[in-house]
Amino acid sequence: MHFGGQEIWIVLGIVVLLFGAKKIPELGKSLGQGLKEFKKSTKAVIEDEDEDDAKAKEAEKDTAA
């Protein structure tokens, strides 16, 4: 599915009508903050999993020795 220039302008026009020109920067800011928090959370989960894997491998080495 490919959006052309006309479709993008129509969607932007609808967004302006629904939210008003003053609210759009606020919506963009809150969306950006939400994405930043989401990335931060997923990074923390991945790091925790990596730490758990490292601890499991270390424990496995200790029991094998």
Instruction: Please state the domain extents for the chain.
Output: 21-64
**pTM for the whole thing?**
0.56
pLDDT band for position 10 (cuts 50, 70, 90): very high
| Mean predicted lDDT score pLDDT of the chain | 87
Question: What pLDDT, on the 0 to 100 scale, is given for residue 36?
Answer: 96
Residue 3: φ, ψ to 5°: -95, 130
User: DSSP code of 3?
Assistant: -
Integer angstrom CA distances of residue 11 from 2, 42, 55: 14, 30, 50
